Amino acid sequence: MTTLEKAEAAEHALSEELDRIVLKSVIYTSGERDPRQPLIRPDNGKLVMMGPDPRLPKMPDRPTLTDFFRLRFGPTQHMMQSARLAQKHGAGEKVVMACLVHDIAIAGFIRGDHGYWAAQLVEPYVDEEVSWAIRYHQALRFFADESVGYAYPAMYVKLFGADYKVDPYIERDYRYARDHKWYMTSRMICVNDLYSFDATLRVELEEFTDVIGRNFRQPKEGLGFDASPSAHMWRTMNWPSKYL
């Protein structure tokens, strides 16, 4: 068996053990399988998954941002190290907060256009300037600003090729952001964004308890269970295999 086949077999065995049927959302598999092909729900008498997935760590009933960091997000050192660097550079708390969550979409939701997704996720809970900065770090990161010593990341040449050109909407949003009063807040995310972070350094989330407490309005019902415009997105991260 190839590695992929082995992984698929292991996944199949794991889902066989479940007492619920899981049908993955199209976006999880699009490209690997033809999204136009129907997903066949096995008719094996099992019910479908309609809540927490038992394969995932159990979340509290009223999850906080910290719970998502610990129990749902992929590696978060990059964001925490960036936030610490921002502190070291003497940045204000808005910038530190923005750095701390700037890539949560990559860590827990969807990679493509991650700055826009992350901004939407946190928008109801942070200062408008913080979510604005997160949205536009998506575009600013592709453009140098020598006034603050930000060069086009060498890593992007490696990742996207030397002749990579950003999409027109990124260029448009960069131009818009460049003339905005909050431009520097967003630019500071890029300046403190550690493109190659230190694998030996370990930053703990506790370091930011106070920053989060002062800059993130945690809903009392828990993230995902308040009536905010992004609550459903937090619920989806909490229960990613929910059938409907």
Least CB distance to Fe ion at residue 144 (A): 16
Least CB distance to Fe ion at residue 25 (A): 23
d(CA 196, CA 192): 11
State the residue for tokens 């490696």: 158
Nearest of 100, 66, 81, 79 to residue 201 by alpha carbon: 81
Residue 43 CB neighbour total at 10 angstroms: 7
d(CA 54, CA 63): 16
Find the part of the chain contacting Fe ion (CB under 5 A) among 55-63, 66-74, 95-103, 214-222: 95-103
Pick between residue 124 and residue 153 the one whose CB is nearest to Fe ion. Answer: 153
Of residues 164-183, which lie at the interface with Fe ion (CB under 5 A)?
none
How many positions of this chain bind Fe ion (CB under 5 A)? 2
- The residue type found at 69 is F
Cα-based angle 162, 165, 166 (whole degrees, multiple of 5): 130
Number of H helices, E strands in the chain: 13, 2
- The residue type found at 214 is R
Pick between residue 156 and residue 239 the one whose CB is nearest to Fe ion. Answer: 156
d(CA 69, CA 57): 12
Pick between residue 173 and residue 193 the one whose CB is nearest to Fe ion. Answer: 193
Least CB distance to Fe ion at residue 64 (A): 22
Least CB distance to Fe ion at residue 189 (A): 7
Question: Between 31 and 70, how does the x/- string for binding to Fe ion read (CB under 5 A)?
Answer: ----------------------------------------
Find the part of the chain contacting Fe ion (CB under 5 A) among 47-55, 84-92, 98-106, 214-222: 98-106
Q: Give residues with Cβ within 8 angstroms of 61, minimum separation 6.
A: 222
Nearest of 147, 139, 143, 212 to residue 170 by alpha carbon: 139
Least CB distance to Fe ion at residue 114 (A): 6
193 binding Fe ion? (CB under 5 A):
yes
Q: Residues 103, 131, 170, 234: which binds Fe ion (CB under 5 A)?
A: 103
Find the part of the chain contacting Fe ion (CB under 5 A) among 67-75, 159-167, 191-199, 213-221: 191-199
Which two three-digit tokens encode residue 73? 């997000």
- Contacts with Fe ion by CB under 5 A lie at 103, 193
